Amino acid sequence: MGDPTVSGVEGRKAEHLELSVNEPVEGASGPGWADIELVHEALPEVDLEEVDLGVELLGRRLRAPVMIAAMTGGHEGALEVNGALARAASRHGLAIGVGSQRAALQDPELAHTYAVVRETAPDAFVVGNLGAAQLIDQGAGRQLGLADARAAVEMVRADALAIHLNFLEESVQPEGDRRTRGIANAIETLAERLAVPVIAKETGAGMTRATASRLRDLGVSALDVGGSGGTNFAIIERMRAERQGDDRGIRLGRSLAEWGIPTAVSVAGASGVGVPVIATGGVRSGLDAAKAFALGATMVGVARPLLQAALEGDDALDRWIENFLEELRTVVMLAGCARPAELRVRPRVIHGRTRDWLDQLGYA
């Protein structure tokens, strides 16, 4: 991975994978979970086996409220990772996203590195993925449109298509696509004309309640808030900029390392606009997930820890997922609930920085 002979999108994606696994790529401020406490119920009256983690997402029933978040595809190293992640999604009844499919739209020979997900997990809820920045004219490179989105869906027989919003990353990335005008229209067209639901997905800078409402009005069916506090693409692109000696990327990556709306705050903002919310960004445990559900999330998304486990093998993936679900089930029970969604109406205490964010953005 990170083979300097592979070029363009393909090489960049391999480098993201390598840096995410091997380097400290999370910021210092955190996603906000540490500021949130769920309240113990001393008389729970729910048996652990009664706790039902099943959830409905966009008309489909999942055994657990967890999405393996979009990561990879488009280079040979991705084939094995996507295969392992898809086996885990299948075994545990999780949803699974693939990484940006642009590479395979440009070079169809790479399609198998994504299609492996559907082939391995025929019954899973699979989410395709394209970048919003590529849907508008960047002045160079091919602009993607409706036909490309349909091809991306077809490639993995996707149940939904995520359009990722990554303008923080594009801003720092040495070769980033930095134009943003026209993005709302492009999303609206896809939401209107694609046969599958569109998910708007931030990738580490989060979103406000106003943006969440706007995306809903554009026809998006679900929101992946992708808040700050988990894998941080300003840091990853700064590391790439350092390798390339790109001073601009190094400078911006340093100053924007803590930019963004923490995941907990993004979830609190987006919940209640009327579409399902997926909480991604620094979700590391069943307890973190329970806090996201208390704030209104329908699902949580996890990327980097599952990538690291996938590289160790199927047993490591099983262990990680089983521990996570066991912890979630236990916390749901200890809060006196039988389902994660019931956490929304239980008491919770919110401290510190997260409290400040919520108060000052006017989220009750």
Ligand X SMILES: Cc1cc2nc3c(=O)[nH]c(=O)nc-3n(C[C@H](O)[C@H](O)[C@H](O)COP(=O)(O)O)c2cc1C
Query: Which residue ranges make up the site for ligand X (CB under 6 A)?
Result: 16-17, 20, 69-72, 99-100, 129, 162, 164, 201, 203-204, 226, 230-231, 280-283, 302-304, 307
The single residue listed with the structure tokens 């602009």 is 143
For the bound state, the minimum distance from the C-beta of residue 362 to ligand X, rounded and expressed in Å, comes to: 26
Please give the C-alpha separations between residue 47 and each of 229, 325, 328, 333, in angstroms, as whole numbers. 33, 15, 14, 7
The backbone torsions φ and ψ at residue 26, rounded to the nearest 5 degrees and listed phi first, read -115, 140
User: Which CB sits closer to ligand X, 166 or 271?
Assistant: 166
E strand residue ranges, the chain:
36-38, 55-57, 60-62, 66-68, 95-97, 126-131, 160-165, 198-202, 222-224, 277-280, 299-302, 348-350
Closest Cα to residue 268, out of 40, 33, 54? 33
CB of 203 to ligand X, least distance (A): 5
- Specify whether the CB–CB gap between 89 and 122 falls below 8 A: no
Which residues, in sequence order, are CB contacts of 106 under 8 Å at separation 6+? 9, 142
Judged by beta carbon, residue 129 or residue 134, the one nearer ligand X is 129
β-pairing verdict for 348-350 and 36-38:
antiparallel
Buried b (16+ CB within 10 A) or exposed e, 206-240: bbbbebbbbbbebbbbbbbbbbbbbbbbbbbbbbb
Nearer to ligand X by C-beta: 75 or 201? 201
Q: What angle do CA 348, 353, 357 make, to 5 degrees?
A: 85
Smallest distance, ligand X to C-beta of residue 223, A? 12
Residue 203 or 298: the one with the smaller Cβ distance to ligand X is 203
Q: How far is the CB of 182 from ligand X (least distance, A)?
A: 19
Residues 219, 196 contacting (CB under 8 angstroms)? no
CA 173 to the chain's CA centroid: 19
CB 210 → ligand X: shortest distance, Å?
A: 21
> Between 304-312 and 76-92, two packed helices, what is the crossing angle to 10 degrees?
100
Give me the least distance between CB of 114 and ligand X, in Å please: 11
**Least Cβ distance, residue 306 to ligand X (angstroms):** 8
Give the residue closest to ligand X by C-beta: 230
Q: Which CB, 31 or 93, lies closer to ligand X? A: 31
Nearer to ligand X, 320 or 357 (CB): 320
Q: Closest distance between ligand X and the C-beta of residue 350, in Å?
A: 21
Cβ closer to ligand X: 156 or 283?
Answer: 283
Backbone angles phi, psi at 159, to 5 degrees: -85, -20
> For residues 81 and 337, which CB has a smaller minimum distance to ligand X in the complex?
81
Nearest distance in Å: CB 71, ligand X: 4
Closest CA to 56 of 299, 331, 329, 344: 299
Q: Which of 1, 358 has the CB closer to ligand X? A: 1
234 residue type, one letter? A
